[in-house]
Amino acid sequence: MRVSLIEKLRRREAVIGVIGLGYVGLPLVRRYLDVGYKVRGFDVDPAKPAALHAGTRYIEHIDPAPLLAAVREGRLDATTEYGRVAECDAIILCVPTPLTEHREPDLSYVIGSAESVIPHMRPGQVLSLESTTYPGTTDEELLPRLEAAGFAVGTEVFLVYSPEREDPANPNFSTRTIPKVVGGVTAACLEVGVALYGQIIDTVVPVSSARAAEMTKILENTYRAVNIALVNELKLVAERMGVDIFEVIRAAATKPFGFTPFFPGPGLGGHCIPIDPFYLTWKAREYGVNTRFIELAGEVNTAMPTHVVERIAEALNDRGRAVRGARVLVLGVAYKKNVDDMRESPSVVIIEQLLGRGAHVEYADPHVPNIPPMRKHCLEMSATPLNSETLSHFDCVLVATDHDRFDWELIRLHAPLIVDARGRFVADGARIYRA
């Protein structure tokens, strides 16, 4: 079965099933279609399959037109019916891995998807998990479930882990050009996994096990979280010293070796960096290891939205205004520039804290016309249009996400008070404050 499945994948005759049609799954769907595969998309949210079949855009940077064309050609079908995974030769899980309220791993989406899929699997299929998670998840959660269903993993079905590395709005890298790490439960599984991704990714990086692949993704995101925490902490020091930390970082980045620039901000956002390090700290305790460095970084980054709110309060206070009753405009609610992704956005926390202090808060974001419902937050807000009149109407304008589509000269000229958490403006200590 291994040889026949690999040949089917290499000839691009295999049917690819993608579970989860969000920011990770949909780019995979598009890429497999681009090279000629037939694809089945699955999602528990019926709105996503419906949108694909209607040609409606629901992720800003993904053009629905080629997907609709594939639907009409019979190469793409999207559904909520998990029983149809039997039609697929490869099944790729791209579902969320959030944290619980106690900052412990929430694998309910992974386990729920696996338990929906495995009863419909058959010999000759490969199951790949792409969701970021702690080392051991594939071996401890998916492997036993496949074996309990009667499958011989490595001979009848194949199990791999390959972490997603999507970076929306990055013009320099795409799904095709970002190298893909793959680890298999067995050597045969790895061989199938390499064949699965080798048809759509320029460079596939095989590693010795699923655990090694899981640890690779955790390392990547922990590296970023720790370094961002470092510059966030240095930002606090620099503020007290009257030094522009953004100027310092850019100057340090001119060193051609031994330094990688990371920039501070209002907090961490996105589905990976604010969450994944805590998956590792939780798992490390099972082995008697306390990951103090990682946990400290998490504390620093988690505290940044509160610091931003305090800086807004200080800036308003300098002008004889209290936060209560002040009109505050938040520029950008996406977690990073030039995307419509609000997952774990620090802007949401900032808005909630400002509302809690009695401020009147509005937001502007060219990528997010309405704030959608989120797992932990419910803000029924729509974007405010930006013009000279609306800007002058606010007591304070917060730069939370520095989208390129903002008219920064308009903002500089007409905002009465700017608190800048992204280093877009030069602070003057009078009308423009760092945060």
* Phi, psi values for residue 90, rounded to 5°: -130, 140
In angstroms, rounded to a whole number, what is the distance separating the alpha carbons of residues 386 and 110? 41
| CATH number of 186's domain | 3.40.50.720
Does residue 132 sit in the same domain as residue 80? yes
Q: Copy the structure tokens of residue 293.
A: 């460095």
**Alpha-carbon distances, residue 8 vs 1, 195, 253, 308 (angstroms):** 10, 9, 47, 54
Does residue 309 sit in the same domain as residue 172? no
In a domain, 376, yes or no: yes
In angstroms, rounded to a whole number, what is the distance separating the alpha carbons of residues 103 and 23? 23
Does residue 93 sit in the same domain as residue 145? yes
In a domain, 152, yes or no: yes
Longest CA span, the chain: 75
Does residue 13 sit in the same domain as residue 160? yes
Secondary-structure breakdown of the chain: helix, strand, coil percentages, each rounded to the nearest 5: 40, 15, 45
Residue that the structure tokens 């992204």 belong to: 422
State the CB neighbour count (10 A cutoff) for residue 202: 12
Does residue 427 sit in the same domain as residue 311? yes
Q: What is the pLDDT of residue 375?
A: 67
Residues in the chain, overall count: 435
In angstroms, rounded to a whole number, what is the distance separating the alpha carbons of residues 323 and 303? 19
For the question of residue 272 being annotated catalytic, the response is: yes
* Catalytic option among 88, 94, 189, 272: 272
Q: Which residue among 158, 192, 208 closes a domain? A: 208
Q: Copy the structure tokens of residue 306.
A: 């509160």
Does residue 153 sit in the same domain as residue 260? no
As to burial, measured by CB atoms within 10 angstroms (0-12 exposed, 13-18 middle, 19+ buried), residue 409 is exposed
**Alpha-carbon distances, residue 264 vs 15, 207, 261, 339, 351 (angstroms):** 44, 33, 10, 18, 19
Structural domain boundaries enclosing 327: 247-434
Residue 291 · residue 282 · CB < 8 Å: no
State the CB neighbour count (10 A cutoff) for residue 38: 21
In angstroms, what is the C-alpha Rg of the chain?
23
Per residue in 70-106, is it b (16+ CB within 10 Å) or e — as a string?
Answer: bbeeebbbbeeebeebeebbbbbbbbbbebeeeeebb
Does residue 202 sit in the same domain as residue 261? no
Give, for 73, the enclosing helix (H) or strand (E): none
Residue 209 · residue 268 · CB < 8 Å: no
Q: What is the pLDDT of residue 96?
A: 94
In a domain, 215, yes or no: no
Q: Copy the structure tokens of residue 255.
A: 């060193």
Cβ neighbours of residue 119 under 8 Å, at least 6 residues apart?
149
In a domain, 240, yes or no: no
Does residue 200 sit in the same domain as residue 288? no
Cβ neighbours of residue 272 under 8 Å, at least 6 residues apart?
132, 221
Does residue 182 sit in the same domain as residue 299? no
Give, for 93, the enclosing helix (H) or strand (E): strand 90-93
Q: Which residue among 179, 208, 237 closes a domain? A: 208
Does residue 380 sit in the same domain as residue 316? yes
In a domain, 238, yes or no: no
Does residue 166 sit in the same domain as residue 251? no
pLDDT tens sequence for the chain (435 residues): 899 999 999 999 999 999 999 999 999 999 999 999 999 999 999 999 999 999 999 999 999 999 999 999 999 999 999 999 999 999 999 999 998 888 899 999 999 999 999 999 999 999 999 999 999 999 999 999 999 999 999 999 999 999 999 888 788 999 999 999 999 999 999 999 999 999 999 999 999 999 999 999 999 999 999 999 999 999 999 999 999 999 999 999 999 999 999 999 999 888 788 888 889 999 999 999 999 999 999 999 999 999 999 999 999 999 999 999 999 999 999 999 999 999 899 999 999 999 999 999 999 999 999 998 776 767 889 999 999 999 999 999 999 999 999 999 999 999 999 999 999 998 887 899 999
Cβ neighbours of residue 58 under 8 Å, at least 6 residues apart?
47, 48, 51, 64
* Phi, psi values for residue 406, rounded to 5°: -70, 145
In angstroms, rounded to a whole number, what is the distance separating the alpha carbons of residues 48 and 270? 20
In angstroms, rounded to a whole number, what is the distance separating the alpha carbons of residues 273 and 269? 7
Does residue 191 sit in the same domain as residue 255? no
Residue 196 · residue 9 · CB < 8 Å: yes
In a domain, 381, yes or no: yes
Q: Which residue among 182, 208, 234 closes a domain? A: 208
Per residue in 247-274, is it b (16+ CB within 10 Å) or e — as a string?
Answer: eebeeeeeeeeeeeebbbbbbbbbbbbb
In angstroms, rounded to a whole number, what is the distance separating the alpha carbons of residues 3 and 315? 67
In angstroms, rounded to a whole number, what is the distance separating the alpha carbons of residues 103 and 278? 7
In angstroms, rounded to a whole number, what is the distance separating the alpha carbons of residues 117 and 19? 9
Whole-structure pTM value:
0.93
In a domain, 233, yes or no: no
End-to-end CA distance of the chain: 58
In a domain, 125, yes or no: yes
Number of domains within the chain: 2
